[in-house]
Amino acid sequence: MPKQFLVILLFVPFICLAQADSVKIIEKVSDHVSSTEEMKVFYSQKLINANTVEVLRKGIMEFRVSHAFGDIGGSNGGVKNFFGLDNSFDVRIGFQAGLTNRLNVLLSRSKGASPVQQLYEIGLKYQFLRQEENDSKHPLSLTLFANSVVSSMNANDQEDQENSFKKFGDRTSEVVQLMIAKKIGKISLQLNPTFVTREYVINGDDKSLFSLGAGARIPLTSRFVFIADYFHTFRSQASKDLFADPGRGSLHFYDALGLGFEILTAGHIFHLNFTNATELLENRFIPRTVSNWGEGQFRWSFTISRNFIIFRDKKNK
């Protein structure tokens, strides 16, 4: 934890210098747009576990910190672990920047919360379509996200474990995700079909998985919003049976469900989340969510993000 706080403190001077600009970025957001103006379907780049169709405009950079704690209930939660707060489950620190008004690049580092840890992520996000108010030509927003993640941890000496890496390629995984969204009145809805490929899996597990995600954003007040997302992963029965074997720890996989609240401020977007997703990256929680809401195995997490102007687009002032 001291190391994590040190990293955050390094950005304090940058935050102070950029505060005026970042406030302007947030204040420009409005629910009321003209009939031909492109509208924001979501206010944030992510809901809880799901990416959104939104991208940053050219010259804007988002700094995002996500922190997940341990289970609130179940055998690993309760009073003895202060309802999960005693456990630092997973941490992600990431940057996303607009190279153009439609293309973003992102970099992040995650702690990881399963046998595969110390995760570096590089990704791209491209928006093909933006929904326009009262314009039948653009009734939807459409964005593509792709990433590659690599683990820098030491390989496990034991055979047939998730982290029994033999070569560099075994450390990598990739995600391709399509986001299709529409804002109806004040409510935003989205579908996230997602494809995950892991270059190394234990014998009998699925190397590639398809998952269908969905998300929603429902404003309760002008600055307080209910958010939710859900992912159903299509896993083979052979893989389920493999992990259900007592020799593998009798593991059972569950769909990732997240519920939370989005709080808008002048300069920040703050998320308070509750989810059974075992990790923060799609590369990990889609193939390996082993926590069950029904047994109290969900955890609370928070995300805070802030936008900065890193350079000004002279063509689009």
The pTM of this model reads 0.84
Residue 53 resides in a domain: yes
Residue 113 resides in a domain: yes
Q: Are 109 and 119 in contact (CB under 8 A)?
A: yes
Mean per-residue pLDDT, 14-30: 41
Mean per-residue pLDDT, 15-31: 41
Residue 309 resides in a domain: no
Strand partners, 119: 110, 151
Residue 127 resides in a domain: yes
Check which CATH number belongs to the domain holding 237 and give it.
Answer: 2.40.160.40
Residue 56 resides in a domain: yes
Mean per-residue pLDDT, 7-30: 40
- Confidence category of residue 159, pLDDT binned at 50, 70, 90: confident
Q: What is the pLDDT of residues 242-291, one digit of tens each?
A: 988 887 778 899 999 999 999 998 878 999 999 999 899 999 999 999 98
The residue ranking higher by pLDDT, 210 or 73, is: 210
Task: Look at residue 83 in the predicted model and tell me its pLDDT.
Answer: 56
Q: What is the pLDDT of residues 141-156, one digit of tens each?
A: 999 999 999 999 999 9
Residue 240 resides in a domain: yes
Q: What is the pLDDT of residues 50-74, one digit of tens each?
A: 999 999 999 999 999 999 887 776 6
Task: Look at residue 82 in the predicted model and tell me its pLDDT.
Answer: 61
Task: Look at residue 8 in the predicted model and tell me its pLDDT.
Answer: 38
Q: Please give the mean pLDDT across all residues of the chain.
A: 85
Residue 210's φ and ψ, nearest 5 degrees, are -110, 140
Statement: residue 21 has pLDDT above 70: no
The two structure tokens encoding residue 113 = 């919360």
Statement: residue 48 has pLDDT above 50: yes
* Pairwise CA distance, residues 82 & 108, whole Å: 29
- Confidence category of residue 27, pLDDT binned at 50, 70, 90: very low
Task: Look at residue 29 in the predicted model and tell me its pLDDT.
Answer: 43
Residue 103 resides in a domain: yes
The residue ranking higher by pLDDT, 20 or 209, is: 209
Task: Look at residue 39 in the predicted model and tell me its pLDDT.
Answer: 83
Listing DSSP states for the chain in one string gives -HHHHHHHHHTHHHHHHHHHHHHHHHHT--S---TTSB--S-SSSBSSSSB-S--PPTTEEEEEEEEEEEESSSTT-SGGGGGGTT-EEEEEEEEEEESSSSEEEEEEEE--SSSS-SEEEEEEEEEEE--BTT-TT--SEEEEEEEEEEE-SPPPSSSSSTT---SGGGGEEEEEEEEEEEEETTEEEEEEEEEEEES---TTS-SEEEEEEEEEEEESSSSEEEEEEEEEEE--HHHHHHHHSGGGT------EEEEEEEEE-SSEEEEEEEE--SSSSHHHHTT-----GGGT--EEEEEEEEEEESS--TT--
Most confident of 14-28, 128-142, 206-220, 234-248: 206-220
Residue 317 resides in a domain: no
Domain, as residue range, for 112: 2-300
Task: Look at residue 50 in the predicted model and tell me its pLDDT.
Answer: 96
Q: What is the pLDDT of residues 86-122, one digit of tens each?
A: 677 899 999 999 999 999 999 999 998 889 999 999 9
Task: State how many domains the chain has.
Answer: 1
Task: Look at residue 12 in the predicted model and tell me its pLDDT.
Answer: 39
Q: What is the pLDDT of residues 221-245, one digit of tens each?
A: 989 999 999 999 999 999 999 988 8
* Pairwise CA distance, residues 287 & 311, whole Å: 38
